[in-house]
Copies of this chain bind each other. A is one copy, B any other.
Amino acid sequence: MKIIADAQGGDHAPLEVVKGCIAARDEYGVDIVLVGKEQEIRQVLRQENLSDDRIEIVDAPDVITMEDDPSDIARGKKDSSMAVGLRLLRDGAGDAFISGGNTGALLAGGTLIVKRIRGIRRAALATILPRAGGVTMLLDSGANTEWTPEHLAQFGILGSLYMEKVMGIQSPRVGLVNNGSEETKGGADRVAAYQLLKQAPVNFVGNVEAREIPMGGCDVAVTDGFTGNIVLKLVEGLAAFFMGEIKGMLLRDTKSKIAAAILKPGLVEFKRKLDYTETGGAPLMGLCKPVIKAHGSSNAKAYKNAVRQAISFANSGMIQAMEAALSANPVPAAEELPVP
C-alpha cells in the first residue's frame, strides 16, 4: 500500500504533513509519496531527524493557496503539489491521496484529473460528525451548492457504501436532512430526492430533522452542499461555544477547579470525541480513486489519522462496489419516477 500526500497542503505544511506521514509509515507499515518542494521536505526530515526509508519525494515547484480559484488547478497551477499528486494517483503511482489544502481546488482537481466514477454526476465532500453513541457521515458537506434530486440520491448510495465498507456499520441508516419528517417536506427537489432514495439500494429511513443528526437518527445524513456547510460549521461553532462555557464553569472558583481535576479523564474523552484530529479527514466521494481532504489546520496526529483513513478507504473495495451498484441499479432521473 502506498499513500500519496500533498506535502504543501494546509496551514502547517510541510512540517506537520511530513511528521504525520512518517508516523503513519512506522505505525501502519505503508509506503509514502510526499509531493511538494523537495528541498523543504528534505530539510524537515533532517531537522526532525527522520529516516527517509520507504519515503519517495516527488518535487512540485508550485503551491495552490487558499486564495487561488479552484479551477487554477487545471490552468495556472498545473505544477502545484496538489495537481502533481492527483496525477500520480490517476496514473497508479499510489493507492490514495491526502491533502490539507484548498477544498474547492481538491474537488475540482479530483473531478478533472482523477475523474468521477462512471455514472456519478457530482463528487461530494463527506465529513464524519461525532454524535451520541457513534459517528454520522454528512454529505455533501460543502462541495455543491447547486444540486438536483439525482445528486442527493447518489450521495446516499455513496455514503451508505462508505459507512458499511470503511466504517464497518451494517446496513447503515440513510436519512434525508429536511425541515420535517413528512415525505412532502422541503420543496419539490427534496421531495423528488426522497422518492429516489426510497428506491435506491440503501436502508433509507426517510427525512430526518436536523436535531436527529447529533442524536443518532441516521448513520448517513444526505443533503445539499449549502445545507451541509451550515450543519458542519454550526456543529463546529456550537462545540466551541459549549467547550468555552464548560471551561468557564470549571474555572469559576477554587472548588470548581478541584472538581475539574476529578473530572479530567471524562473531559479528555469528551474533548477527544469532538476532535477532528481523531477522525482524520473528509473523504471525497464519487471519484475513481480514494482522495481524503484533511482539515486545513491539521497537525501531525491528524495527518497520521488521515493516512489511516486513506488506507481503509483504499482497502475497502468501496469504489468497485459503487461501480457495480451503479451498473446494477442506476439512479433514475427524477422525472422518470411515478408521482407519489
CB within 8 A of A212: which of B177, B213, B237, B273? B237
User: Quick one: given A246-B246, A262-B256, are A210 and B186 in contact (CB under 8 Å)?
Assistant: no
Contacts of A235 in B (CB 8 A): 234, 238
Q: Min CB distance, A135 to chain B, in Å?
A: 12
Q: Min CB distance, A278 to chain B, in Å?
A: 15
Looking at the complex, which of A71-79, A223-231, A297-305 is the stretch in contact with chain B? Answer: A223-231
Contacts of A145 in B (CB 8 A): 179, 186-187
Most B CB within 10 A of own CB, among A177, A226, A232? A226
Q: Min CB distance, A178 to chain B, in Å?
A: 9
Residues of chain A from 243 to 262 with CB closer than 8 A to chain B in the complex: 244-246, 248-250, 252, 255-256, 258-260, 262
Interface SS, A side: helix
CB within 8 A of A259: which of B131, B146, B262, B273? B262
The answer to whether the Cβ of A132 comes within 8 Å of any Cβ in the partner chain is yes
The reply to whether B256 and A237 form a contact with Cβ atoms under 8 Å apart is: no
Looking at the complex, which of A18-26, A90-98, A158-166, A263-271 is the stretch in contact with chain B? Answer: A263-271
The reply to whether A240 and B211 form a contact with Cβ atoms under 8 Å apart is: yes
Contacts of A177 in B (CB 8 A): 230
The reply to whether B226 and A214 form a contact with Cβ atoms under 8 Å apart is: no
CB within 8 A of A215: which of B187, B237, B248? B237
The reply to whether A267 and B249 form a contact with Cβ atoms under 8 Å apart is: yes
Most B CB within 10 A of own CB, among A131, A180, A214, A249? A214
The answer to whether the Cβ of A233 comes within 8 Å of any Cβ in the partner chain is yes
Q: Min CB distance, A36 to chain B, in Å?
A: 27
The reply to whether B256 and A229 form a contact with Cβ atoms under 8 Å apart is: no
Contacts of A210 in B (CB 8 A): 229-234, 237
User: Quick one: given A246-B246, A273-B245, are A215 and B240 in contact (CB under 8 Å)?
Assistant: yes
The answer to whether the Cβ of A52 comes within 8 Å of any Cβ in the partner chain is no
A144-188 interface code vs B (CB 8 A; 1 in, 0 out):
011000000000000000000000000000000101100000110
* Identity of the chain B residue whose Cβ is nearest the Cβ of A130 in the assembled complex: B241
The answer to whether the Cβ of A209 comes within 8 Å of any Cβ in the partner chain is yes
The reply to whether B245 and A270 form a contact with Cβ atoms under 8 Å apart is: yes
Contacts of A266 in B (CB 8 A): 248-250, 252, 256
The reply to whether B258 and A179 form a contact with Cβ atoms under 8 Å apart is: no
Q: Min CB distance, A263 to chain B, in Å?
A: 5
The reply to whether B270 and A262 form a contact with Cβ atoms under 8 Å apart is: no
Contacts of A146 in B (CB 8 A): 187
For the complex, give the distance between the alpha carbons of A94 and B269 in Å: 54
Most B CB within 10 A of own CB, among A142, A210, A235? A210
User: Quick one: given A238-B238, A241-B214, are A270 and B249 in contact (CB under 8 Å)?
Assistant: yes
Given contacts A211-B236, A227-B227, 14 further A-B contacts (CB under 8 A): A145-B179, A145-B187, A179-B225, A187-B226, A209-B229, A210-B229, A210-B231, A210-B234, A211-B234, A211-B240, A212-B237, A234-B235, A238-B238, A249-B263
- The 6 tightest CB contacts between A and B, nearest first, are A211-B237, A249-B266, A259-B259, A210-B233, A179-B229, A214-B241
Which residues of chain A have a CB within 8 Å of any CB of chain B?
A: 131-132, 142, 145-146, 177, 179-180, 186-187, 209-215, 225-227, 229-242, 244-246, 248-250, 252, 255-256, 258-260, 262-263, 266-267, 269-270, 273
